[in-house]
Structure 1
Amino acid sequence: MQDSLSKLGHKGTPELGPSLLGGVSLPAAVLHEAALAHNLAWMQRFAESHGARLAPHGKTTMTPALFRRQLEAGAWGITLATAPQCRAAFASGVVRVLMANQLVGQANMAIIAELLEAGADFHCVVDSEDNARELGHFFAQRDLTLKVLIELGVAGGRTGCRSVESVKALARVVDAEPGLALAGMEGYEGVVHAEDPVPAIRDYATRLVEAARCLDDEGRFAVDLPIITASGSAWYDLIAEAFDTAELRRRFTPVIRPGCYVVHDHGIYRQAQQGVLSRRPDLHAGLRPALEVFAQVQSLPEPGLAIAALGKRDIGADQLPEPLRRYREAGAVDEVLSVEGWEITRLMDQHAFIHLPDSADDVRIGDVVAFGASHPCLTFDKWRRICRVDERLDVTEVMDTAF
């Protein structure tokens, strides 16, 4: 009884055995090992071929086992978005942490101070003089030095200094704070919006490089080989290309930060990858979707309609999930049934409405369906446990998340 109670709250885990089709409580979030291993190696090769370091954005998965896999594959560090995320990553063995966000609030600063005292190699972002002074005062009082990166933003975008002049002014403030060390420049191209985004993102990357060189020429950096970093999961090729062609390696440490690559998706990043491959046909096959959510047909209440036990609490819904494959419960892995013409039309908390074509005359209650999702960040955060499976759909590892 006690062992059973210990599983409370952990949906999607093995109950009767390792087989995803017969032994796991569904729905379950699933990572396919073959695609995962491919993606880890693919992006690491990509970064190295452009002379860049890879610091994957960990907020995508918040899964320490995946952080370790990324570091083992050669990642330079892990990027996070918040102080508690950084603490969770450090507790799981991540020493080099890049927080691609501003550190605000005394409680969050206290978390980072503890990490620094414990030996973390931590960087965060600043974009205002007031924040820089507050950080400088807080960390100087504790005899600590906080390494910061100045963020260059875009008009109408999110955070970041809006001009090179404001970058230079902020660098002077950071330089005057004994509790701070200016360690580089940071940007994020995902907030660059234009009718033709490719030249606009290239222009932004050029501005980021120019700002970093300007600070270097003025002697503002407090470290050797300061960091220059940008890149989300959609335009990483343009950022890596800009850093590479600018030949920054002699003066800087170029770092790219894609996160969703590790599992890819069946939606917005699949579409973005098509853009990458059209610009860079030499990259060949590219990334592979590794994340799926498996769920069962729960009801066949009327002709042409199936209800799956899958909802917004289980899978990201910024785009409706995509039915990929179907199996019989406890059936053979190689006996794949058709989902051709299946379409999810509506998603509730725990239910997916699926329109079935007339040809779908073999559907049974309990059939197991694999669903693809868009934007993996919005699926991972719905799970405390993720199942990693082999080619036989046997669970080989249950990975904890740390949201």
Structure 2
Amino acid sequence: MILKGAAQPGADLVRDVSLPALVIHRDALEHNIAWMQDFVTRSGAVLAPHGKTSMAPALFRRQLEQGAWGLTLATAVQTCTAYAGGVRRVLMANQLVGRANMALIADLQDDPAFEFYCMVDHPDNVAALGAFFAERGQRLNVMIEYGVVGGRCGCRTEDEVLALAQAIKAQPALALCGIEGYEGVIHGEHAVDGIRAFAASLVRLALQLQREGAFALDKPIITASGSAWYDLIAEGFEAEAASGRFLSVLRPGSYVVHDHGIYKEAQCCVLDRRSDLHEGLRPALEVWAHVQSLPEPGFAVIALGKRDVAYDAGLPMPLKRYREGVLPAVGDDVSACKVTAVMDQHAFMTVAPGTELRVGDIISFGTSHPCLTFDKWRTGCVVDEQFKVVEAIEITF
């Protein structure tokens, strides 16, 4: 069976690949992986990139080879997929709920080389995990999740965290290994102040739990950080001297390919806050598609839709036009054109004055929020500067 967008190494993206296709530019990809690894290392932390962004084992391997401490994942099934791809240390930034999911992790833990951590935020889940893993004769590494009011999971108060630590202590099959939080749900005019306060609170709780002897590790884990505010979390951990007493773990994921939308804007804010960072991340991900129809003046229908590209955080952005037979295909700027709507398999695009399009032209599109573009695909094309496919990567959602 031929998967959509599938291509063999050596194929010419403009001429040989069935479109639409998910395209990853190798140079930008390699830059991003090295850039984030260097940033995290210089911050006194370790990197556990969130694998749910891509669910591409080939990208996991690149991240680990560059020095990542482990991978962050969101579910037991994702953890099994990463394990099958060679990942042996997983931080599941989520609660492990349900016996079937617990059984998946217990099966992986039969491998002594596999190291796993998950989150807990409620006594009911602590009791269920303790009973299940006691039955299996295993010990499960857990971390307390600390959240914010109106956010996602996590204990809402410091008192709840301390009480949950006591509940974990009563379960011999559980080992409390650290504390975790997620700052990406903090928004508003004073988000920066809120995130800094959250990071300080996370460290303060970790220190209190450490003083009380709650942790099973001499150097417990403290972790937070999505893809937008990782610099503030790193600074917060450094400011509270967390690295000396804890293993500080940062977990951005979207940086691996970056984007042309929300994370591009977030990266500009990072660079504004950090004058020592002279270059940031580069957009590596595009979706390429044909001009399918030109039914009216100034209007084009593109063979690209909701089944191919994210649309939750902004519509795809036209970047360049390519034509078969025009080699090397340097591309023409079509960024003045604008996608106005997407349907299942079609995108509506206004054609800017002076832009000449033909049916069959190829347009590269930038995206916003790469997580929800990756999950539309089973194969992605990694290409070099000449748009030759150097690798076809499997995507395993």
TM-score bracket, normalised by the shorter chain, equals over 0.9
Aligned to 1:225: 219
Q: Are 2:13 and 1:20 aligned?
A: yes
Q: What SS does the corresponding residue of 2:281 show, helix, strand or coil? A: coil
Moved over 4 A (4+): none
Deviation at 1:72, TM superposition (A): 0.2
Aligned to 2:231: 237
Aligned to 2:319: 324
Deviation at 1:356, TM superposition (A): 0.7
Counterpart pick for 1:33 among 5, 22, 26? 26
Q: Are 2:182 and 1:192 aligned?
A: no
CA distance in 2, matches of 1:164, 1:33: 44
Q: What SS does the corresponding residue of 1:117 show, helix, strand or coil? A: coil
Q: Are 2:371 and 1:373 aligned?
A: no
Aligned to 1:58: 51
Q: What SS does the corresponding residue of 1:76 show, helix, strand or coil? A: coil
Deviation at 1:372, TM superposition (A): 0.2
Aligned to 2:302: 308
Q: Percent identical across equivalent pairs? A: 58
Q: Is the 8 A contact 1:58 1:80 kept in 2?
A: yes
Aligned to 2:176: 182
Q: Is the 8 A contact 2:76 2:105 kept in 1?
A: yes
CA change 1:135–1:351 in 2 (3 A) is: same
CA distance in 2, matches of 1:15, 1:101: 36
Q: Which amino acid in structure 2 is aligned with residue 392 of structure 1? A: Q
Q: Is the 8 A contact 2:9 2:392 kept in 1?
A: no
Counterpart pick for 2:389 among 379, 390, 395? 395
Q: Is the 8 A contact 1:11 1:385 kept in 2?
A: yes
Using the size of structure 2 for normalisation, the TM-score is 0.98
Q: Is the 8 A contact 1:298 1:309 kept in 2?
A: yes
Aligned to 1:3: none
Q: Are 2:351 and 1:351 aligned?
A: no
Aligned to 1:78: 71
CA distance in 2, matches of 1:340, 1:276: 25
Q: Which moved more, 1:150-159 or 1:177-186?
A: 150-159
Deviations 1:112-155 (CA, angstroms, capped at 9, x unpaired): 10111123100000000110011001001111000000011111
Q: Is the 8 A contact 1:321 1:344 kept in 2?
A: yes
Deviation at 1:282, TM superposition (A): 1.2
Aligned to 1:117: 110
Q: Is the 8 A contact 2:22 2:287 kept in 1?
A: yes
Deviation at 1:329, TM superposition (A): 2.2
Q: Is the 8 A contact 2:54 2:375 kept in 1?
A: yes
Deviations 1:42-92 (CA, angstroms, capped at 9, x unpaired): 000000001000000000000000000000000000000000000000111
Q: Which moved more, 1:203-212 or 1:328-337?
A: 328-337
CA change 1:97–1:12 in 2 (3 A) is: same
Deviation at 1:185, TM superposition (A): 0.2
Deviation at 1:17, TM superposition (A): 6.2
CA change 1:330–1:136 in 2 (3 A) is: farther
Which 5+ residue runs of structure 2 have no aligned equivalent?
Answer: none
CA distance in 2, matches of 1:363, 1:154: 50
Q: Which moved more, 1:191-200 or 1:378-387?
A: 191-200
Counterpart pick for 1:90 among 67, 83, 95? 83
Q: What SS does the corresponding residue of 2:94 show, helix, strand or coil? A: strand
Deviation at 1:181, TM superposition (A): 0.1
Counterpart pick for 2:337 among 339, 342, 362? 342
Counterpart pick for 1:206 among 200, 209, 231? 200
Using the size of structure 1 for normalisation, the TM-score is 0.96
CA distance in 2, matches of 1:129, 1:15: 51
Q: Is the 8 A contact 1:21 1:331 kept in 2?
A: no
Two-structure CA RMSD over aligned residues (Å): 1.2
Q: Which amino acid in structure 1 is aligned with residue 103 of structure 2? A: A
Q: Which amino acid in structure 1 is aligned with residue 81 of structure 2? A: A
Q: Are 2:368 and 1:383 aligned?
A: no
Q: What SS does the corresponding residue of 2:223 show, helix, strand or coil? A: strand
Q: What SS does the corresponding residue of 2:287 show, helix, strand or coil? A: strand
CA distance in 1, matches of 2:8, 2:49: 33
Aligned to 2:255: 261
Deviations 1:249-297 (CA, angstroms, capped at 9, x unpaired): 2211000000000000001000111111110121111000000001011
Which 5+ residue runs of structure 1 have no aligned equivalent?
Answer: 1-5
Q: Is the 8 A contact 1:17 1:24 kept in 2?
A: no
Deviation at 1:401, TM superposition (A): 0.9
Q: Are 2:160 and 1:166 aligned?
A: yes
Q: Are 2:280 and 1:286 aligned?
A: yes
Q: What SS does the corresponding residue of 2:272 show, helix, strand or coil? A: helix
Q: What SS does the corresponding residue of 1:98 show, helix, strand or coil? A: strand
Deviation at 1:302, TM superposition (A): 1.0
CA change 1:70–1:335 in 2 (3 A) is: closer
CA distance in 1, matches of 2:146, 2:341: 40
